[in-house]
Chains A and B, each alone.
Chain A
Amino acid sequence: MEKLIKDLQVKIVDVLNLIDVQPDDIKVDQRLVGGNLGIDSIDVLEMVIMIEKDYGVKIDNKELGVKVFASLRTLAEYIHAKSPGLTN
């Protein structure tokens, strides 16, 4: 789980081209979307694609997306629970 969180921090900064944001700046329980990081609805969709591509996990509707992308922790937990390739 720790590793997954670290990986996600790096990927999010990279995929969303978050200028002036370091991976560590994305706090585990911080609000992920619409907060200080400047992440918006298009970014969420870009993360959806990255998560499907890299972890084989689909998040294909808005209602689910709101829950999953609440914070880095909720995102990691969802991927962890659903990803076929991830074990503890």
Chain B
Amino acid sequence: MTAVRAYISGMGIITSLGNGISSTTDAIQKSLRGIRPLTLFATAPNQPLPVGEAANLIEKDDLPRTHQLARLAAEQAMADAREAPDAVVMGVTTGGMLTTENLLKKNARDPKLFRRHATGSVAEDIARRFRCTGPALTVSTACSSGAAAIKIALEMLRSGRVKRVLAGGADSLCRLTYYGFNSLQLIDPDGARPFDQNRRGMTVGEGAAMLLLTANEPDHAVAEVLGAGLSCDAYHPATPHPRGRGALAAMQTAIEDARISVADIDYINLHGTGTLDNDMAEARAIDTLYNRKKPLLSSIKGACGHALAAAGAIEAVVSAISISRGVVPANVGCCRPDPGLKLDPVMQPSQGPIETVLSNSFGFGGNNAAIVLGACGKPKPGQTAADNRPMAILGSACLTGTGRTERTMKAVAKGEACAGMLDLKEISANLSAGRIRRLKRFPRLALSLAIDAHADSGAGDTPAAVFLGTGWGALSETSDFLNRLFETDEQFPSPTDFVGSVHNAAAGQIAMHFQAVGANITMTGGDFSFEQSLMAAGLLSENMRDAFLVIGADESHPELSRLFDRSVAKSSCPADGGGALYLKKGTGNSGLTIGSLFFESSENNPNVVSSLIQQIEAQQSFNDRYGVILAGLPAACRSEGDIQLQTLLALTGFNHPVIDYRKLTGEFASASAVAAVMAVKFLQQGQIPAPLCEDKPGELGEKGALIIGTGDYITAMEVMPQ
């Protein structure tokens, strides 16, 4: 088959070095440094630390800074585009956090003010502005988010389902990251000096970068994304593996995926944060990769700071500048390279032809990504045939206010609600006490679900990869971190809560538990987070031989849940939990498969319901294919969701049971993960419990289950007999 290529047909960037491609190129050529003492918020009585703050942003009161940065980068990337992107994929970790902190400090408690807190609201905002009605996905894998977003975009293009993806990352500075990294003693008071023998840490930065990736070659392509690789250290929540095990695996996977050899790489844009541990681990990994002559090497984080979720995308854009303009950035900040690292970074910007670049991004949770960019027009070996095998279900588990899988399913069988909050002790019943002493509610939920789903499979093997969807992540850790920060006049933040607060901390714990060293992806797309993690799993499990976990979980937090989640604000009953599936490509022992079918915005998309029906009925009629629909109608958009559902039922004449599952699970963002597990259990039992049938036939026979999401997006997943 012909290989699908991913051309960079437009790109945009904003960092502390400047706004736009030309000012960034100029800053690189002159080795400018954008690192200055923080001005964005007061730090008294302490002196502000150096940061990479983006200059000249026009502050808009109601639009968080991350969204503004993302809009600026996206406008540049889309400047010459004639058509809307088919999908938006963004790496975001702080999202609206700076605005949220300002509101919490003022004691504001109106949920409307927090409507753009969600990391996912950035990608949704960009999708809306550029009239993208396809998926708007959000990856939160800490400092590798931007690079992981590009990997997902690349796989979307390769799948042939989309032709144009707007991908990148954005993060603004905020107190959580500024004080959090400082509490870990990871900040260099003199600004980051990556790979220097006197380096003392990183500099927190901010920014955004977006790339319009297209499958068809545009008139003026900048470069191509040749490949990308993901890995997980499965070693420690915040410290890289000392030998750079995961870093090496990500680089090797990316090189293999790009179908090039190590010798083809002209330049490596290093992760190079400037911390003792990162730079050591990365240098060792590179030393293992190259036993002799190394290519040109540099990190730009001593120039612009570490823009966290945006960094991977920023560095992809800088790598593309290296290819298109033949300029390699100097490793600004480094005066005397650490001889112990055996790595000679570029000390002055160099000019010359650069055809292939490897760009590294590593994050907390041991979440690593590496991408390979290349000059356009080079012949590329054909890729292997697409892996059309379905995702077979090996095991499943859920957890709700009523209890674990068995108790939940017992309640459901009687048509009773299982909504509520399970006692923390019960959640932790399958977790070892020593291991979880630092884990609060959300990571315990996720880890407990992962262990139950794996155990349910009865398999002796362990998962290689983890895909976790969460609307809101670790709310307890986030809240505790901010409360203590504010209560102690910003003097004594908790390093433990900071490490636990990152969205991907739970998936990192799961990887450590199972020693899962493959892809480790956390998706944070509000009510559609589980759907996004299933979609990411489908895209990233191509040709994967080993099993993997797909999990959806959310915790209910007494203060923050109702501020952030519009549906929780409308509900009187706090509820949380989630679901987990243990999957493998091919055939599984349960005889069931799961797949992600559809993901489109319902805004500016009047035919969205018909489009869903068309896609499914291209294979089989609704009534022949499905014996049940599990419908997700989040309370915040119940009336809109109900219209969408009724339209679907009317147009298809669906005459089997329809289960309004949030009435059972309660309101929480990843309730659809519980619905997916319910579907699995119903299919295993061969019928829908009578109290849920409303006089419709409950026998499933050979039929499957459709799980749809409604509201701002219409989504569909199906569980089918194999």
Question: Does B488 belong to the interface (CB within 8 Å)?
Answer: yes
Contact B237 A38 (CB under 8 A): no
Question: Would A17 and B437 be within 8 Å (CB), given that A42-B238, A61-B185, A62-B185 are in contact?
Answer: yes
Residues of B within 8 A of A16 (CB): 437
Q: How many residues of B contact A (CB 8 A)?
A: 21
Question: Does B276 belong to the interface (CB within 8 Å)?
Answer: yes
Question: Does B365 belong to the interface (CB within 8 Å)?
Answer: no
List which B179-217 residues lie within 8 A (CB) of chain A: 183-185, 200
Partner of B492, one of A40, A43, A52: A52
Task: Give Cα distance in the complex from A53 to B183, angstroms.
Answer: 13
Contact B434 A45 (CB under 8 A): no
Question: Does A5 belong to the interface (CB within 8 Å)?
Answer: no
Residues of A within 8 A of B236 (CB): 40
Question: Would A53 and B239 be within 8 Å (CB), given that A42-B496, A42-B499 are in contact?
Answer: no
Question: Does A2 belong to the interface (CB within 8 Å)?
Answer: no
Q: How far is the CB of B490 from chain A (nearest CB, A)?
A: 12
Contact A53 B437 (CB under 8 A): no
Contact A19 B434 (CB under 8 A): yes
Question: Does A20 belong to the interface (CB within 8 Å)?
Answer: yes
Partner of A42, one of B237, B433, B491: B237
List which B219-264 residues lie within 8 A (CB) of chain A: 236-239
Task: Give Cα distance in the complex from A52 to B491, angstroms.
Answer: 9
Task: Give Cα distance in the complex from A46 to B496, angstroms.
Answer: 7
Task: Give Cα distance in the complex from A52 to B282, angstroms.
Answer: 33
Question: Does A7 belong to the interface (CB within 8 Å)?
Answer: no
List which A1-53 residues lie within 8 A (CB) of chain B: 16-20, 38, 40-43, 45-46, 48-49, 52-53
Contact B183 A45 (CB under 8 A): yes
Contact A19 B494 (CB under 8 A): no
Contact A49 B433 (CB under 8 A): no
Task: Give Cα distance in the complex from A62 to B186, angstroms.
Answer: 10
B432 (CB) vs chain A CBs: closest residue: A19
Contact B434 A42 (CB under 8 A): no
B488 (CB) vs chain A CBs: closest residue: A53
Question: Does B493 belong to the interface (CB within 8 Å)?
Answer: yes
Question: Would A49 and B492 be within 8 Å (CB), given that A42-B237, A61-B185 are in contact?
Answer: yes
Contact A42 B185 (CB under 8 A): no
Contact A19 B438 (CB under 8 A): no
Question: Would A46 and B494 be within 8 Å (CB), given that A16-B437, A18-B437, A20-B433 are in contact?
Answer: yes
Residues of B within 8 A of A41 (CB): 238-239
Residues of A within 8 A of B276 (CB): 62
Q: How far is the CB of A52 from chain B (nearest CB, A)?
A: 7
Contact B494 A53 (CB under 8 A): no
Contact B185 A19 (CB under 8 A): no
Task: Give Cα distance in the complex from A42 to B185, angstroms.
Answer: 10
Cβ contacts B250-294/A at 8 Å (1 or 0 each):
000000000000000000000000001000000000000000000
Residues of B within 8 A of A61 (CB): 185, 200
Question: Does B495 belong to the interface (CB within 8 Å)?
Answer: yes
Contact A48 B185 (CB under 8 A): yes
Task: Give Cα distance in the complex from A17 to B435, angstroms.
Answer: 11
B186 (CB) vs chain A CBs: closest residue: A45
Residues of A within 8 A of B438 (CB): 17, 42
Q: How far is the CB of B186 from chain A (nearest CB, A)?
A: 10
Interface residues on A, range: 10 to 19
Residues of A within 8 A of B494 (CB): 46, 49
Partner of A60, one of B185, B488, B493, B499: B185
Contact B434 A38 (CB under 8 A): yes
Q: How far is the CB of B46 from chain A (nearest CB, A)?
A: 12
Question: Would A49 and B493 be within 8 Å (CB), given that A42-B238, A42-B499 are in contact?
Answer: yes
Cβ contacts A55-86/B at 8 Å (1 or 0 each):
00000111000000000000000000000000
Q: How far is the CB of A53 from chain B (nearest CB, A)?
A: 5
Q: How far is the CB of A72 from chain B (nearest CB, A)?
A: 19
A38 (CB) vs chain B CBs: closest residue: B434
B435 (CB) vs chain A CBs: closest residue: A38
B436 (CB) vs chain A CBs: closest residue: A19
Residues of A within 8 A of B495 (CB): 42, 45-46, 49
A17 (CB) vs chain B CBs: closest residue: B437
A45 (CB) vs chain B CBs: closest residue: B495
List which B583-622 residues lie within 8 A (CB) of chain A: none
Task: Give Cα distance in the complex from A60 to B189, angstroms.
Answer: 11
List which B402-444 residues lie within 8 A (CB) of chain A: 433-434, 437-438
Task: Give Cα distance in the complex from A86 to B633, angstroms.
Answer: 60
Task: Give Cα distance in the complex from A15 to B437, angstroms.
Answer: 11
Q: How far is the CB of B178 from chain A (nearest CB, A)?
A: 16
Partner of A19, one of B433, B492, B493: B433
Cβ contacts B645-658/A at 8 Å (1 or 0 each):
00000000000000
Partner of B491, one of A19, A46, A53: A53
Q: How far is the CB of A67 from chain B (nearest CB, A)?
A: 15
Residues of A within 8 A of B493 (CB): 49
Q: How far is the CB of A30 from chain B (nearest CB, A)?
A: 17
List which B160-193 residues lie within 8 A (CB) of chain A: 183-185
Task: Give Cα distance in the complex from A42 to B200, angstroms.
Answer: 17
Residues of A within 8 A of B238 (CB): 41-42
B493 (CB) vs chain A CBs: closest residue: A49
Q: How far is the CB of A11 from chain B (nearest CB, A)?
A: 14
Residues of A within 8 A of B488 (CB): 53
Question: Would A20 and B434 be within 8 Å (CB), given that A45-B184, A60-B185 are in contact?
Answer: yes
Q: How far is the CB of B348 from chain A (nearest CB, A)?
A: 31
B484 (CB) vs chain A CBs: closest residue: A49
Contact B437 A19 (CB under 8 A): yes
Q: How far is the CB of B164 from chain A (nearest CB, A)?
A: 42
Task: Give Cα distance in the complex from A11 to B291, angstroms.
Answer: 49
Residues of A within 8 A of B492 (CB): 49, 52-53
Task: Give Cα distance in the complex from A60 to B499, angstroms.
Answer: 18
Task: Give Cα distance in the complex from A81 to B611, angstroms.
Answer: 73
Q: How far is the CB of A41 from chain B (nearest CB, A)?
A: 6
Q: How far is the CB of B447 from chain A (nearest CB, A)?
A: 16
Most chain A CB within 10 A, of B434, B488, B491, is at: B434
B495 (CB) vs chain A CBs: closest residue: A45
Task: Give Cα distance in the complex from A52 to B495, angstroms.
Answer: 13
Cβ contacts B460-491/A at 8 Å (1 or 0 each):
00000000000000000000000000001001
Task: Give Cα distance in the complex from A16 to B497, angstroms.
Answer: 11
Q: How far is the CB of A57 from chain B (nearest CB, A)?
A: 13
Q: How far is the CB of A3 from chain B (nearest CB, A)?
A: 23
Residues of B within 8 A of A18 (CB): 437
Task: Give Cα distance in the complex from A41 to B437, angstroms.
Answer: 15
Q: How far is the CB of A14 from chain B (nearest CB, A)?
A: 12
Q: How far is the CB of B193 from chain A (nearest CB, A)?
A: 15
Task: Give Cα distance in the complex from A65 to B499, angstroms.
Answer: 19
B238 (CB) vs chain A CBs: closest residue: A42
Task: Give Cα distance in the complex from A43 to B185, angstroms.
Answer: 13
Q: Please report B residues at the A interface, Cβ cutoff 8 Å.
A: 183-185, 200, 236-239, 276, 433-434, 437-438, 488, 491-496, 499
8 tightest Cβ-Cβ pairs between the two chains A and B: A45-B495, A17-B437, A19-B433, A53-B492, A19-B437, A46-B496, A49-B492, A42-B496
Q: A42-B499, A46-B494, A49-B183 are in contact. List 6 more A-B contacts (CB 8 A).
A: A18-B437, A19-B437, A42-B184, A45-B183, A48-B185, A61-B185
> Mind listing 8 A-B residue pairs with CB under 8 Å?
A17-B437, A20-B434, A38-B434, A42-B496, A46-B494, A46-B495, A62-B185, A62-B276
